């Protein structure tokens, strides 16, 4: 019978930690960093469109919603008669159109009508409050977002975080595997670096190797619950769409996708009245039920049909776990009930999904948890960076090529703020068109430069330069934003001003880190790392 | 090829094998969970628990396999778990 590697379980875990670390740490840091930015993606898009405030659905004034809906229906029937015909051709009980209603452009309500059997929608833009006419266009949500260069910041960082900009299921599988790799790194790392109580409160020692080792253990242990939760929930989100849901459809629903969608959507019984409900009245009623929450969008289903339904969806930015979706009969406007996050009625599984979403997106308790998530996300990047740095220092003599590779990757993680800042500057420069391409090019070019710089220069010099470059790029972002929107940076009275302050604080933090780095030099202690365990270092010179 | 390089390559293959094998078994275990977990009031609890539980199942299997003192026995147990979980999955197609 074959035996475990010499040195037992600890060595086996250490070897695995090393292999998985060198292959996933850099991409893991990229995912964590872009996730930390994406936590404030909504605020970023507000920051980018501060001069183009969209109307609030809940305060449009009496009759505006109903008037806009009538205009949208007429315009859509005229411009896309094929969709209107297919509404009538559907089965007996469903005869009306379905649409999402939201506001994302100044003085405009958007109606995204479902085109049966197609991914595209008929988008109808109605100017409010007058609603005199409407503009109709058939497109996908992605194409619509692309056509609005101001609104691409959040989607860029979210797509980078979710799929590394790789289209389709491949991107999801890639980030899912990274999440699993991080999960394994946490498990094996905890076993290998099992900290003593003293290590958890001790300040990191001086000397590059000691400092890297101490900070790696310290940050790894203190952020363990966060990294664990993020890895598990991240793997869930990635694999659910890419592989798990298709498997579950086959096993749990006998390959009947429609049946699964019905269970997940949770259709509610509709009223049988012959009238058509007033959207304005429904929004007023929903607003009183969800006091304090922001009405994000409305959904109409089978409008004018026998089972017409209206669902109001509140995006409560302060507390996402509260269910704030109310269903109303589309004919008499009667309140049908509160809809849970998922499914037809409240369930343990629905609550679990709410928690998983809240824990992953960091919006459990408003700004406080979002800030905490951002800080923990940045610390997770530091964990990856110090791990790679440690690997580079240890291999400098024994395996120079591996050491150089790890050093280059460590530099890449240090270049993430620089890449982010440069991507936002590219966004500002490319407002004429092609923002997505410009941002991707700037981001990956900055990362490539960071990797090359880290490989060619001494680690300390490279890190110092990359952090300083990151600070400079982030400091320039508020001015670029102001140039795009025509306002002034750091206008503290508005939300965009607070975002500017956030960028400036991050820049200061990076600047301070760059200045502190020289203190790490000059201590060449003869410590030996044996399977992750630090043997007491010789006294410093 | 040097001995160290051969050893390194063998280790890579072994580690990749562990990741892939535990991934497949975790997928089968998650799929089987939908057949024996109660569906709950909204008829979706069994699916949600299976999907959310997948990374945890994979992590537990991978940690157990990597740290196993008797590697061959650990692979045997993994195969048993996979086959055991596959039975209700296959059974669900004939139910």
Instruction: Collapse the DSSP code of B95 into the 3-class scheme (helix H, G, I; strand E, B; otherwise coil) and give the result.
Output: coil
DSSP string for A421-475: HHHHHHHHHTTTS-HHHHHHHHHHHHHHHHHHHHHHS-HHHHHHHHHHHHHHHHH
Average pLDDT over residues A294-317: 82
Cβ contact, residue pair A244, B51, below 8 Å: yes
Q: What is the pLDDT of residue A84?
A: 58
A236:B55 CB<8 A: yes
- Which residue in A12, A263, A340 is closest to B43 by CB distance? A263
Asked if the model's pLDDT at residue B59 lies above 70, the reply is yes
Q: Using an 8 Å Cβ cutoff, are A178 and A160 in contact?
A: no
Both tokens assigned to A442: 């700037």
**Tokens encoding A212:** 């890297």
* Rounded Cα–Cα distance for residues A288 and A293 (Å): 10
Shortest Cα distance from B52 to chain A (angstroms)?
A: 6
Percentage of chain A modeled with pLDDT above 90: 35
Question: Out of B40, B48, B58, whose CB is closest to A180?
Answer: B58
What pLDDT, on the 0 to 100 scale, is given for residue A268?
54
Q: CA A268, CA A336: separation in Å to the nearest integer?
A: 8
Q: Which residue of B has its CA nearest to A356?
A: B52
Please tell me if residue A3 touches chain B, with a CB cutoff of 8 Å. yes
Contact of B35 with chain A, judged by CB distance below 8 Å, is answered with yes
Contacts of A372 (CB under 8 A, 6+ apart): A362
- Which stretch of A301-305, A317-321, A323-327 has the lowest confidence by average pLDDT? A317-321
Q: Quick: pLDDT tens for B18-48.
A: 999 999 999 999 999 999 999 888 888 999 9
Task: Say what the pLDDT of residue A526 is.
Answer: 37
Closest CA to A338 of A363, A312, A361: A312
Q: Which residue has the higher pLDDT, A290 or A442?
A: A442
Phi, psi of A124 (to 5 degrees): -120, 120
What does the angle CA A23 – CA B65 – CA A176 come to, to the nearest 5 degrees?
40
Q: B77 — contact with chain A (CB < 8 Å)?
A: no
Say if residue A522's pLDDT is above 80: no
- For residue A524, the model assigns a pLDDT of 40
CB–CB of A236 and B52 under 8 A? yes
Report the 10 Å Cβ neighbour count for B94: 5
Contacts of A16 in chain B (CB under 8 A): 15, 66
Instruction: Check: CB of residue A39 under 8 Å from CB of residue A361.
Output: yes
Confidence of residue A271 (pLDDT cuts 50, 70, 90): low
- For residues A410 and A459, is the Cβ–Cβ distance under 8 A? yes
A34-38, A385-389, B74-78: which has the minimum mean pLDDT? A385-389
Which of A328, A351, A350, A348 lies closest to A338 in space, CA to CA? A328
Residue among B41, B51, B67 whose CB faces A345 most closely: B41
A18 versus A471: the higher-pLDDT residue is: A471
Q: CA A363 → CA A151, A358, A372, distances in Å?
A: 21, 6, 10
| Chain A partners within 8 Å of B52 (Cβ) | 236, 352-353, 356
Q: Which two tokens stand for residue B42?
A: 């909204």
CB contact under 8 A, A349 and B68: no
Q: What tokens appear for A37 in the block? A: 């930015």
pLDDT > 90: what percent of chain B? 63
pLDDT at A531 over 50: no
B81 has a chain A CB within 8 A of its CB: no
Q: Best residue in B29, B45, B47 to probe A by mutation, most A CBs within 10 Å? A: B47
What ipTM is given for this predicted complex?
0.92
Weakest mean pLDDT among A183-187, A410-414, A441-445, A522-526: A522-526
The answer, yes or no, to whether residue A382 has pLDDT greater than 50, is yes
From the CA of B38, how many Å to the nearest CA of chain A?
11
Do A320 and A356 touch, CB atoms closer than 8 A? no
Tokens describing residue B74: 């650990």
The answer to whether residue A527 scores a pLDDT higher than 50 is: no
**For chain A, what are the domain ranges?**
8-49+156-166+366-520, 57-148+267-360
User: How many pairs of residues across A and B have Cβ atoms under 8 Å apart?
Assistant: 131
Which among A292, A417, A312 has a CA at the least distance from the CA of A366?
A292
Cβ count near A168 (within 10 Å)? 9
Tell me how far CA of residue A390 lies from CA of A15, A209, A404, A457, in angstroms.
15, 6, 12, 17
Q: What span, in angstroms and rounded, lies between the C-alpha atoms of A27 and A175?
A: 9
Cα A188 from Cα A523, distance rounded (Å): 29
Please say if the pLDDT value at position A27 is more than 50.
yes
Partnered with residue A136 across adjacent β-strands are A124
Question: Residue B14 pLDDT > 50, yes or no?
Answer: yes
Q: Do the chains contact at B72 and A264, CB–CB below 8 Å?
A: no
Q: Which pLDDT score, from 0 to 100, does residue B49 have?
A: 94
Tens digit of pLDDT for each residue in A29-68? 999 999 999 999 888 988 998 887 788 888 888 889 999 9
Shortest Cα distance from A402 to chain B (angstroms)?
A: 12
With CB atoms and an 8 Å threshold, state whether B52 touches A352. yes
Using an 8 Å CB-CB cutoff, list chain A residues near B36: none
Q: What's the gap between Cα A426 and its chain centre?
A: 20
Q: Which residue of B has its CA nearest to A252?
A: B34
d(CA A448, CA A123) in angstroms, rounded, equals 39
* pLDDT, tens digit, 9 for 90 and up, residues A144-171: 877 788 888 998 999 999 999 998 889 9
- DSSP class per residue in A29-85: HHHHHHHHHHTTHHHHHHHHTTTSPPPPGGGS-TTHHHHHHHHHHHHHHHH-HHHHH
Helix (H) or strand (E) holding A380: helix A367-398
A298 secondary structure, DSSP code: E
d(CA A226, CA A376): 7
Q: Which two tokens stand for residue A532?
A: 């992750």
Measured CA to CA, the distance from residue A184 to residue A194 in angstroms comes to 15
Predicted local confidence at residue A231, as pLDDT = 95
**The two three-digit tokens of residue A214, written as one number:** 């101490």
Residue tagged 């009947």 (tokens): A256
- Interface contact A20, partner B, CB < 8 A: yes
- Report CA-CA distances (Å) from A318 to A16, A225, A363, A370: 41, 22, 7, 10
pLDDT at B93: 82
In which band, very low, low, confident or very high, does the pLDDT at A519 lie, cut at 50, 70 and 90? Answer: low
Alpha carbon of A447: minimum distance to chain B alpha carbons (Å): 27
User: pTM, whole model, 2 decimals?
Assistant: 0.85
- pLDDT, tens only, A196-239: 777 777 788 877 788 888 888 889 888 999 999 999 999 999 99
């Amino acid at each position: 019978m074959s035996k475990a590697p010499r040195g037992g379980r600890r060595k086996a875990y250490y070897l695995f930690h090393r292999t998985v670390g060198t292959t996933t740490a850099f991409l893991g840091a990229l995912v964590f960093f872009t996730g930390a930015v994406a936590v404030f993606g909504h605020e970023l898009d507000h920051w980018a469109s501060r001069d183009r405030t969209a109307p609030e659905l809940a305060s449009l004034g009496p009759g505006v919603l109903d008037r806009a809906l009538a205009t949208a229906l007429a315009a859509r029937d005229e411009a896309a008669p094929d969709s209107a015909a297919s509404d009538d051709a559907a089965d007996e009980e469903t005869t009306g159109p379905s649409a999402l209603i939201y506001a994302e452009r100044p003085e405009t309500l958007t109606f995204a009508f479902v085109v049966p059997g197609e991914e595209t929608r008929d988008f109808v833009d109605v100017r409010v409050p007058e609603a005199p006419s409407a503009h109709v266009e058939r497109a996908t949500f992605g194409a619509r977002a692309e056509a609005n260069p101001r609104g691409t910041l959040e989607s860029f960082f979210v797509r980078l975080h979710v799929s590394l900009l790789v289209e389709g299921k491949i991107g999801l599988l890639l980030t899912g595997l990274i999440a699993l790799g991080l999960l394994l790194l946490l498990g094996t790392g905890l076993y290998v670096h099992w900290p003593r109580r003293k290590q958890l409160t001790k300040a990191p020692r001086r000397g590059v190797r000691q400092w890297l080792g101490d900070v790696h253990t310290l940050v790894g242990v203190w952020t363990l619950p966060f990294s664990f939760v993020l890895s598990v929930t991240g793997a869930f989100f990635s694999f659910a769409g890419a592989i798990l849901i298709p498997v579950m459809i086959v096993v749990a629903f006998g390959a009947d996708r429609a049946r699964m969608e019905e269970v997940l959507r949770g259709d509610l019984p509709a009223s049988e009245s012959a009238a058509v409900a007033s959207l304005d009245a429904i929004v007023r009623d929903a607003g009183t039920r969800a006091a304090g929450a922001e009405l994000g969008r409305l959904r109409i289903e089978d409008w004018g049909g026998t089972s017409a339904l209206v669902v109001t969806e509140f995006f409560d930015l302060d507390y996402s776990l509260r269910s704030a979706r109310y269903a109303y009969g589309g004919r008499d406007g009667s309140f049908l009930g509160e809809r849970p996050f998922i499914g037809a009625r409240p369930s343990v599984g629905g609550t679990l999904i709410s928690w998983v979403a809240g824990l992953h997106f960091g919006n459990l308790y408003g700004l406080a948890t979002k800030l905490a998530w951002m800080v923990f996300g940045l610390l997770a990047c530091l964990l990856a960076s110090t791990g790679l740095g440690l690997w580079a220092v240890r291999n400098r003599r024994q395996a120079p090529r591996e050491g150089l590779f790890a050093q280059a990757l460590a530099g890449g993680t240090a270049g993430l703020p620089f890449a982010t800042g440069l991507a936002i500057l590219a966004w500002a420069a490319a407002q004429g068109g092609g923002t997505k391409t410009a941002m991707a090019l700037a981001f990956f070019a900055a990362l490539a430069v960071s990797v090359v710089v880290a490989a060619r220069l001494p680690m300390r010099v490279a890190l110092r330069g990359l952090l300083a470059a990151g600070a400079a790029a982030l400091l320039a972002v508020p001015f670029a934003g102001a140039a795009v929107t025509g306002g002034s940076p750091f206008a503290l009275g508005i939300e965009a001003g607070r975002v500017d302050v956030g960028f400036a604080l991050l820049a200061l933090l990076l600047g301070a880190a760059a200045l502190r780095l020289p203190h790490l030099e000059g201590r060449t202690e003869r410590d030996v790392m044996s399977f992750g365990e630090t043997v007491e270092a010789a006294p410093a010179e | 090829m040097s001995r160290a390089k051969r050893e390194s390559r063998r280790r890579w293959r072994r580690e990749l094998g562990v990741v892939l094998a535990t991934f497949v078994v975790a997928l089968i275990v998650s799929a089987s969970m939908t057949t024996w977990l109660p569906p709950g009031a909204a008829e979706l609890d069994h699916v949600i628990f299976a999907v959310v539980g997948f990374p945890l199942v994979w992590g537990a299997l991978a940690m157990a396999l990597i740290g196993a003192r008797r590697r061959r026995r650990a692979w045997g147990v993994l195969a048993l778990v996979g086959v055991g979980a596959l039975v209700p999955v296959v059974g669900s197609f004939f139910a």
